Amino acid sequence: MRRILITGAAGQIGSELTPALRAAFGADNVLATDLRADLDKSCGGGPTAVLDCGDGQALAALVERHRADTIYHLAALLSAVAERRPQDAWRVNMGCLVTVLEVARQKGCAVFHPSSIGAFGPTTPRDRTPQDTIQRPTSMYGVTKVAGELLCDYYHLRYGVDVRGVRFPGIISNVAPPGGGTTDYAVDIYYQAVAHGRYTCYLKPGTFLDMMYMPDALRAAIEVMEADPKRLVHRNAFNVAAMSFAPEDIAAAIRKRLPDFTMDHTVDPVRQAIADSWPRSMDDSAARVEWGWKPRFDLEAMTDDMLRVLTERKRRGELRVG
């Protein structure tokens, strides 16, 4: 049975991956860590610790105390925040990653590291983006993601660290908000639709991006770590895809269920430029062949589920809209 330490456990992915890993491996086998002290509330039963994962000594001490053999390293700044604070983004996204990899090397841990569609750039083929292709991103987020992919490969090749990962598309979820990404609109639109029946989108119509519903993202993160290493030709940064849509497509899917819903656009040039430099859809055949990746949610199934959950939350008076 794995003994897991998660960094960034209170974030968008962590707050759902923590309970998923606890369900799969046993609550006591999963130590949730985050900078935030209110961690206990966000990740249910099981051990927690406040941790700055850039502090290698503190991380190593927790790995030892918990007898962790696997680190899910989720702490990172997303693309729009990274563009506002590029130096912080380098410090957090790269500094923490190298610290985690060093601790993993010294303590013999496996590592999961999420990369992103952000690892691609304007010279990358944008449709059916191949697994192995040009990666010259123009955002700081993208720079840290490509560098992170390479660093993970290096730690595997040089030191044999079992580090694996996927390139996540935009992730849509209804537990913790993403906070500071370019794809966040596809989360916010559901909250605003349920709360107010209208949404102002910061991306232009026609801006296609790859997206994925959280339950699929959680499965991808768990399944890639459980994959038979003998089948892996790639190791880090597997393209994983589920659906590709533009703002008007998600608005239309919502309108089918909430006919009065309306959307307009006030374009944010920073996030629009980032989105325009990312793939419209990724080819995830390497993940499908090498470890059996297959998404379960498309736009329709995701919209049914998001609206069901958020409507129920509104009925109970528990819908919090930013």
Residues that bind ligand SER (CB under 6 A): 78-79, 116-118, 141, 168, 170, 181-183
The nearer residue to ligand SER, 165 or 181, going by C-beta atoms, is 181
Min dist. Cβ of residue 181 to ligand SER (A): 3
Shortest Å, Cβ 79 to ligand SER: 3
Q: Rounded to an integer, what distance in angstroms lies between the CA atom of residue 249 and that of residue 186?
A: 10
Whose CA is closest to 112, among 312, 291, 309, 319? 291
Whether 221 contacts 177, CB under 8 Å = no
Strand partners, 111: 71, 163
Toward ligand SER, which CB reaches closer, 104 or 119? 119
Shortest spacing between CB 118 and ligand SER, in angstroms: 5
Annotated catalytic residue, options 72, 141, 185, 202: 141
N-term to C-term CA, the chain: 39
Nearest residue (CB) to ligand SER, 168 versus 297 = 168
Closest separation between CB of residue 167 and ligand SER, Å?
8
3-state SS assignment for residue 141: helix
Cα-trace Rg, the chain: 19
Residue nearest to ligand SER (CB): 181
Spell out the alpha helix ranges (H) of 14-120: 14-25, 39-42, 56-66, 79-84, 86-89, 96-107
Nearer to ligand SER by C-beta: 15 or 182? 182
CB atoms within 10 A of CB 290: 18
In the complex with ligand SER, the residue whose CB is nearer, 99 or 144, is 144
Rounded distance, CA 320 to CA 175, Å? 10
Q: Catalytic residue at 141? A: yes
Rounded CA-CA distance 19/42 in Å is: 10
Shortest distance (Å) from residue 117 CB to ligand SER: 6
Least distance to ligand SER, CB of residue 162, Å: 23
Among residues 162 and 210, whose Cβ is nearest to ligand SER? 210
DSSP notation for 205-221: TT--EEEEEHHHHHHHH
Q: Are 112 and 123 in contact (CB under 8 A)?
A: no
Would you call 106 helix, strand, or coil by DSSP?
Answer: helix
**Which residues are known catalytic residues?**
141
